[in-house]
Amino acid sequence: MKKILMIAAAAAFMMTGVVATEAVAGGLTGKCKACHKVDKNATGPSFKNIQAAYGDAATLAKVWESGFAVADRHIAGNPCNANYKKYHKKAKMMSAQYKKLIHKRVEAGKFTYQALADEVFSK
């Protein structure tokens, strides 16, 4: 019985960590909304355009995980994308935001690239 309680306690602790990670990622997308709107392009492309460009959250997470190089970005790094010119000019600004808001927090264990990408795709 004691063993079962220990396993249940460990599982509850791990689930709390996952919920906290998702909450932090969700809070970050609130900051992302300063430049990214859900349905309309603003300073950055809309979440809907990001979803269309990347196709799924795993692809977006991989681009972030690999360092978010401009050439790897599906909008600002792809001359075939209709919004390429507008967002390629703003790529330096987003690189700085990526380092400040995303990369440093992932490195600190606040959330994962996948959790944030899932949050972007939930919009």
Report pLDDT digits (tens) over 44-69.
Answer: 999 999 999 999 999 999 999 999 99
Q: Do 123 and 29 meet the contact criterion of CB atoms below 8 Å apart?
A: yes
Euclidean distance between CA atoms 66 and 7, whole angstroms:
35
Alpha carbon distances (Å) from 20 to 14, 42, 45, 74, 85: 10, 29, 27, 29, 37
10-46 confidence digits (pLDDT tens): 444 444 444 455 566 778 888 899 999 999 999 999 9
Helix, strand, coil in percent for the chain, rounding step 5: 65, 0, 35
Q: Do 120 and 33 meet the contact criterion of CB atoms below 8 Å apart?
A: no
Where do the structural domains in the chain lie, given as residue ranges? 2-121
Whole-structure pTM value: 0.78
pLDDT at 25: 78
Q: Do 36 and 44 meet the contact criterion of CB atoms below 8 Å apart?
A: yes
**Distance between alpha carbon 119 and the CA centroid of its chain, in Å?**
7
Confidence of residue 4 (pLDDT cuts 50, 70, 90): low
Euclidean distance between CA atoms 27 and 116, whole angstroms:
10
